Amino acid sequence: MAPPRNRRPGFSRRAQYGLFIGYVGAAAGALIGAVLLLLSTFNPPAFAAVRSVFAEVTTPVASGLDWVRRSLGSIPAGIGSYFAVHGENARLKKQIADDAIAVSRAQTLDQENRRLRALVKLRDVTTDAIVAARLVNSSSSSTRRFATLNAGSWQGVKRGQPVRDPTGLIGQVIETSPNSARVLLLVDPESIVPVRRSRDGLPAIASGRGDGLIDIRSASVASMGFRVGDAFVTSGTGGVFSPNIPVARVIRTQGDIAIAQPVANPDALDFALVQQTFLPEPTPTPSPSATASPQPAP
């Protein structure tokens, strides 16, 4: 059986109070409406004053509700903007990383081009250049220091020829094959180069240490001290290295020995120039051929 539509609140105090408040609110609203209607009809100025009072009271509430509405309405747009900004930030970071790689490559190419231009200029002004070749590798992790050139005997490279770059001396060819050559670097313990001090011509001997540095020892009888910053160049003694090729610069001293930094770093080089030895090799003297003794006449 269906329940009746009009149900009385019965003994529920809450229902009774709610119903009573509803009736009171309805009656009060109707009364206020009637008063405002009569006031607007018979006394418009008073009605305008009352309307202004209600406007002053309801305007802050309406403003607050409007702010809440606009704030709630802007939430989807804010979420979309966040993801859009996040994506744009990621794109810009990737672009910055790509630009940094491009700048690094450009700087590397610029340095290589400068070295090549200097090497070409050096080859143009020197008359003893054999070939400009690429330094394929160099051994920097062991006590023995060698490098490999991608040019050999077919390109005119011979054992004993000096190898340099525009900044200074690198080493000396010790082995050759048709298309490659092995270079003994200045910093190798077996390397010995006659040098002289630039400022006063003091003769000295530069020998490798095996740790990337060079020992400088005075070759004169008189003991003359070294100073930090002294520059040494090849002296031409021995007839292998041409004079005035930069070799090393002193970085510290230990008694009568100076520890020097080589001017040219083969680990940072791409190309090198092979030169003729300073003095040509002596021409072997032909042995006198045995002359046939005259045969006695029969």
* Least confident range of 63-77, 133-147, 237-251, 281-295: 281-295
Question: Above 60 in pLDDT, residue 22?
Answer: yes
Angle at CA of residue 266, ends 263 and 271, nearest 5° = 110
Question: Above 90 in pLDDT, residue 207?
Answer: yes
Q: For 174-189, what is the mean pLDDT? A: 92
CA distance 191 to 175: 14
The verdict on domain 128-275 having CATH code 2.40.10.340 is yes
Beta strands in the chain (DSSP E): 129-138, 146-149, 162-164, 169-177, 180-185, 192-197, 203-208, 214-218, 231-234, 246-254, 257-262, 271-275
Domain ranges of the chain: 15-125, 128-275
User: What's the pLDDT score for residue 184?
Assistant: 92
CA quadruple 118, 123, 129, 132: dihedral sign: positive
Q: For 236-265, what is the mean pLDDT? A: 90
Q: Could you tell me which residue, 252 or 66, shows the higher pLDDT? A: 252
Q: For 35-46, what is the mean pLDDT? A: 72
User: What's the pLDDT score for residue 183?
Assistant: 92
Strand, coil or helix: 113: helix
Containing H/E element for 20?
helix 13-42
Residue-averaged pLDDT of the chain:
79
Question: Above 60 in pLDDT, residue 17?
Answer: yes
Question: Above 60 in pLDDT, residue 294?
Answer: no
Q: Could you tell me which residue, 184 or 20, shows the higher pLDDT? A: 184
* Least confident range of 9-13, 159-163, 191-195, 261-265: 9-13
User: What's the pLDDT score for residue 292?
Assistant: 47
Rounded to the nearest 5 percent, the helix, strand and coil shares of the chain are 40, 25, 35
Q: For 124-146, what is the mean pLDDT? A: 75
- Smallest CA-to-CA distance from 128 within 236, 249, 201, 202 is with 236
User: What's the pLDDT score for residue 218?
Assistant: 86
Q: Residues 45, 47, 53, 55: what is their CA dihedral angle, to the nearest 10 degrees?
A: -110
User: What's the pLDDT score for residue 105?
Assistant: 74
Q: Could you tell me which residue, 254 or 57, shows the higher pLDDT? A: 254
User: What's the pLDDT score for residue 176?
Assistant: 92
Question: Above 90 in pLDDT, residue 56?
Answer: no
* Least confident range of 79-83, 186-190, 235-239, 276-280: 79-83
Question: Above 90 in pLDDT, residue 173?
Answer: yes
